[in-house]
């Protein structure tokens, strides 16, 4: 804070020194835009800097809050309802390690599974319901050809 005031004072003195040397006003020596003097420009700059600092601090607070709330919400949303109920109902570590759960938890898991199955679309076969054909068997020798022919004639009535 002290350093900024020193910088502002130094800038003001430099501008006044330049005005005194040139013999002209501050507006003629430097283009200050909509500001009438160097003091007005410095005041506007310090106001802008203060506002920027406030907004940056507010943004940091909001990001930290979102990060903390997001982690807590993500932890709760990652587990299904049945798992949350299970962890709430099994209080003793020995029972939890043994895999014992209450009937309420079992029913909740089954109900959740059945609702997810009921809501899903059924699998439909594409291709009009034709069956797949077996690959062709070609005889390579006379003996294989005879065996295939015998098999064909034996299966027919």
Same domain for 49 and 39: yes
Q: How many residues does the chain have?
A: 157
More confident residue, 138 or 129: 138
What percentage of the chain reaches a pLDDT higher than 90? 18
> Which of 2-6, 47-51, 105-109, 144-148 is least confident?
2-6
Whole-number mean pLDDT of the chain? 73
Q: Is residue 84 part of a domain?
A: yes
Q: What pLDDT score was predicted for residue 8? A: 61
Q: Which domain holds residue 19?
A: 1-78
Q: What pLDDT score was predicted for residue 126? A: 66
Give the integer Cα–Cα distance in Å for 78 and 42.
53
Q: Is residue 152 part of a domain?
A: no
CA distances from 151 to 27, 35, 124, 133, 140 (A): 110, 105, 36, 18, 16
More confident residue, 29 or 56: 56
Same domain for 66 and 42: yes
């Amino acid at each position: 804070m002290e350093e900024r005031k020193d910088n502002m004072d130094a800038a003001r003195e430099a501008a006044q020194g330049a005005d005194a040397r040139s013999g002209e006003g501050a507006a003629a020596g430097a283009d200050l835009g909509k500001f009438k003097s160097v003091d007005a420009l410095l005041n506007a700059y310090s106001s802008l800097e203060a506002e920027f600092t406030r907004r940056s601090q507010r943004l940091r607070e909001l990001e930290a809050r979102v990060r903390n709330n997001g982690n807590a919400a993500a932890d709760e949303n990652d587990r299904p309802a049945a798992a949350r109920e299970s962890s709430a109902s099994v209080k003793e570590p020995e029972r939890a390690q043994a895999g014992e759960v209450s009937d309420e938890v079992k029913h909740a898991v089954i109900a959740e599974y059945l609702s997810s199955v009921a809501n899903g679309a059924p699998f439909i076969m594409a291709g009009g319901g034709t069956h797949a054909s077996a690959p062709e068997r070609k005889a390579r020798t006379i003996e294989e050809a005879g065996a295939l022919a015998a098999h064909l004639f034996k299966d027919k009535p």
